Chains A and B, each alone.
Chain A
Amino acid sequence: MNTDKHGFKDILLRHETILLFVVLLEWFYFNAVGPRFGSVDNTFDIARHSVEIGLLALVMTPIILTGGIDLSVGSLLGLCAILFGKLWRDAGLPIPVAAACTVVIGALAGGLNAALITRLRLPPLIVTLGTFSLFRGLAEAITRGADTFTNFPTAFLFLGQERWLGIPAQAFIFIVVAVGVWLLVHRTTFGRSFRAIGFAPEGARYAGIPVDRRVAFAYVLAGVVAALAAIIYTARLGQAKADAGTGYELFAITAVVLGGTSIFGGVGSVHGTLLGVAAIAVLNNGLVHARQPREVAGMLTGLLLILALSSSVIPKLLATLRGRRQNPKSKPNIQQTNTA
């Protein structure tokens, strides 16, 4: 057990160092290829464009740590964006009130996922696949597929397009959420329970952790932050459309898995996720500077996800195979513990 823990820590450390190295490598490569890539302006551009995906990835981390998944965050971003526009333009609410209402809607939507998953014990993937379709469908139905919200006041657009104290304004929100989630997951007993649940849900329950409440919290948090991301998205583009955030769930999941969080739950870190977001953001932006079409970026993200997943299991698989060959008696032992 002790050696396991030690070896495990080692791998985690190595994983994140390698990822950091990959990000730097990407950076230097694109710097050499694209003349404008390394400029301060472009660096802020990367930051600006990755805030929404970064926020989604941050809150996806606790969910995946518990062994769950949320496919609906991209659709929820779209729904929240157009509801925000609707509340502001058609209901005539001032921007701060509309934003507050949007966050409440996000919490309710996350609560719907949470209720179905924890109350009815339905698998997260099918629940969030259903809400993935439901949220996007509602966004399309409300806008009739064509209505867009524009002409937001400049004071609001400041949040998405201007700089405050020299850095993009939305970066402050991102930093606050990132620090908050990091502290939650790594420095509180509350957040520690996410990993316990992902590692062994039954064991966590016997240890006195209110599993359902913790899991529900993770999904509601995802809803709240998806709404926040929707507001930032709207401020950045200056418009809200029903297709906002299409495919963002893939980027968020990829960032989390790339960052070393096990897709089976129980293992992972928030700083890993941040590095994963950086790797994807630099890749996407760099490819544009290297004059590659947008499709290549999407394709590479998919391949990257497969590679990250494979690299996390292949060593373990090889170890099992090797162990089986060296000690053929170990197999029946495992079975016995499983059936016991």
Chain B
Amino acid sequence: MRKHFRELSVAAALALALIGLRIFAPAFFQPQPLLSLLTREAPTLVVACGMALVIISRQIDISVGSQFAVCSVGAGLLAAANWPLALVLPASVAIGAVMGAVNGALVAGLRLPSIVVTLATMVTWREALRWLRQGQFVNLPDGVQWFGLSQSAGQWTLIITALVLLTLLALATKHAAAGRFVYALGSDAEAARLAGIRPQLTTFCVFVFMGALVGLAAMMNVAQSPQVDPKSGSGLELKVIAAAVVGGVAVSGGRGKLWGVFVGLLLLACIAPALTHLHIEAYWEKAIQGAIILLAVVADGLRTRRQRS
């Protein structure tokens, strides 16, 4: 109970928010909009899982939004060139992994701070994409949207994929050696090294894995519409960092649970629809998101300070 206090308090906040919405905006719970809300958040959940691992290893990656756009457009172009979906998906994952490897090589290989490296790659990928594509949409052939299934079957496929991935990763971070390496690295890199973990290699792998997850998420996003928006994924980095931080992942590394990230993401996902149902203008969303990030880190900061004293 104590061990999960942080995650449980987020879950309680989510429950309160849902009860509030039930009373003040019952329309929120109509099955169809709720299903499409969850479908929209499925790719975000996949990216948020990766971001949680990155933050647990005491790094950060703010280039995921740009990576997402590059992977989406890349996957869209391949699909438009009539590649079979079974090949487009690994290709998208590979594109993401390569971009993750660039970050990883700079951070782990040259020991540069991840915030500045990923700030640079964020802008480089985005501007390169804008330059090459001039903001054009990619029209997808038939059979790509919802993987050629019916809409509701496609939606459920995406949601279940995200949840299965979440479960696997949650188990892996708890029980697999590789998962524990990430926590060890984030808690104390020097101690991890003395315990026989190779810190630089682990960091590199975390960034590559992050990129691969972004590639998968981009594919899950491409499958949701008949066109690929080259601006898709803008602001994604803030959204997933917020989800991770709200869900109890400590920015100082070494602490956090993936199910907490899931609950944090659900809580954040409620904001936008709640705003519309409560007749607050949607322009407040970004400000509220920033305020929530700050509140979450302040709460963690106060808690660690109290524990110390």
Stretch of A136-144, A161-169, A176-184, A207-215 on the interface side: A136-144
Cross-chain contact B116 with A309 (CB below 8 angstroms): yes
* B106 at the binding interface (Cβ < 8 Å): yes
CB distance from B264 to the nearest CB of A (A): 14
Q: Tell me the complex Cα distance, A100–B6, Å.
A: 43
Cross-chain contact B106 with A299 (CB below 8 angstroms): no
Contact with A along B117-149 (1 / 0, CB 8 A): 101111110111011000000000000000000
Contacts of A338 in B (CB 8 A): 190
Look across to chain A and name the residue whose beta carbon is closest to the beta carbon of B116.
A263
Binding site for A on B (CB under 8 A): 60, 62, 106, 110-113, 115-117, 119-124, 126-128, 130-131, 190, 238, 241-242, 245, 251-252, 281, 283-291, 293-294, 297-298, 301-302, 305
Look across to chain B and name the residue whose beta carbon is closest to the beta carbon of A293.
B131
Given contacts A123-B251, A127-B297, A298-B127, contact A134 B110 (CB under 8 A): no
* A130 at the binding interface (Cβ < 8 Å): yes
* A40 at the binding interface (Cβ < 8 Å): no
Q: Tell me the complex Cα distance, A141–B252, Å.
A: 31
Contacts of B127 in A (CB 8 A): 295-296, 298-299, 302
Choose from A130, A295, A306 the contact partner of B131 (Cβ within 8 Å). Answer: A295
Cross-chain contact B289 with A302 (CB below 8 angstroms): no
Q: Tell me the complex Cα distance, A137–B242, Å.
A: 14
Which of A74-120 touch B at CB < 8 Å? Answer: 116, 120
Choose from B60, B117, B242, B283 the contact partner of A144 (Cβ within 8 Å). Answer: B283
Closest 7 CB pairs of A and B: A137-B287, A134-B290, A137-B286, A133-B290, A302-B124, A120-B301, A295-B131
CB distance from B59 to the nearest CB of A (A): 11
Q: Tell me the complex Cα distance, A239–B121, Å.
A: 31
Given contacts A122-B298, A137-B284, A141-B283, contact A313 B111 (CB under 8 A): yes
Contacts of A137 in B (CB 8 A): 283-290
CB distance from B302 to the nearest CB of A (A): 7
Binding site for B on A (CB under 8 A): 69, 71, 116, 120-123, 125-127, 129-138, 140-141, 143-145, 247, 250, 253-254, 257, 263-264, 293, 295-296, 298-299, 301-303, 305-306, 309-310, 313-314, 317, 338-339
Contacts of B112 in A (CB 8 A): 263, 309-310, 313
Extra pairs beyond A123-B252, A140-B286, A299-B127 (19, CB < 8 Å)? A121-B305, A127-B297, A132-B238, A133-B242, A133-B286, A133-B287, A134-B290, A137-B283, A138-B287, A141-B281, A295-B131, A298-B123, A306-B120, A306-B124, A309-B106, A309-B120, A313-B111, A317-B110, A339-B190
Q: Tell me the complex Cα distance, A313–B116, Å.
A: 14
Cross-chain pair count, CB within 8 angstroms? 142
Cross-chain contact A302 with B123 (CB below 8 angstroms): yes
Cross-chain contact B113 with A120 (CB below 8 angstroms): no
Cross-chain contact A125 with B115 (CB below 8 angstroms): yes
Choose from B115, B294, B302 the contact partner of A69 (Cβ within 8 Å). Answer: B115
Contacts of B241 in A (CB 8 A): 126, 129
Given contacts A137-B285, A137-B289, A144-B283, contact A126 B116 (CB under 8 A): no
9 A-B residue pairs with CB within 8 Å: A69-B116, A120-B305, A131-B290, A132-B238, A134-B291, A137-B284, A257-B116, A264-B113, A302-B120
Choose from A122, A253, A263, A295 the contact partner of B251 (Cβ within 8 Å). Answer: A122
Cross-chain contact B294 with A131 (CB below 8 angstroms): yes
CB distance from A257 to the nearest CB of B (A): 7
Contacts of B60 in A (CB 8 A): 125-126
Cross-chain contact A116 with B294 (CB below 8 angstroms): yes
Cross-chain contact B124 with A299 (CB below 8 angstroms): yes
Given contacts A144-B283, A298-B123, contact A129 B130 (CB under 8 A): no
CB distance from A223 to the nearest CB of B (A): 16
Contacts of B287 in A (CB 8 A): 133-134, 136-138, 140-141
Contacts of B284 in A (CB 8 A): 137, 141
Q: Tell me the complex Cα distance, A317–B111, Å.
A: 9
Choose from A121, A126, A140, A296 the contact partner of B293 (Cβ within 8 Å). Answer: A126
Q: Tell me the complex Cα distance, A263–B107, Å.
A: 13
CB distance from A121 to the nearest CB of B (A): 6
Choose from A122, A136, A295 the contact partner of B297 (Cβ within 8 Å). Answer: A122
Q: Tell me the complex Cα distance, A295–B131, Å.
A: 6
Cross-chain contact A247 with B123 (CB below 8 angstroms): yes
Look across to chain B and name the residue whose beta carbon is closest to the beta carbon of A292.
B131
Contacts of B305 in A (CB 8 A): 120-121
CB distance from A331 to the nearest CB of B (A): 11
Q: Tell me the complex Cα distance, A263–B110, Å.
A: 13
Cross-chain contact B283 with A145 (CB below 8 angstroms): yes
Contacts of B121 in A (CB 8 A): 302, 306
Look across to chain A and name the residue whose beta carbon is closest to the beta carbon of B252.
A123
Q: Tell me the complex Cα distance, A127–B119, Å.
A: 16
Look across to chain A and name the residue whose beta carbon is closest to the beta carbon of B291.
A134
Given contacts A136-B286, A141-B287, A313-B110, contact A129 B131 (CB under 8 A): no
Contacts of B190 in A (CB 8 A): 338-339
Contacts of A309 in B (CB 8 A): 106, 110, 112, 116-117, 120
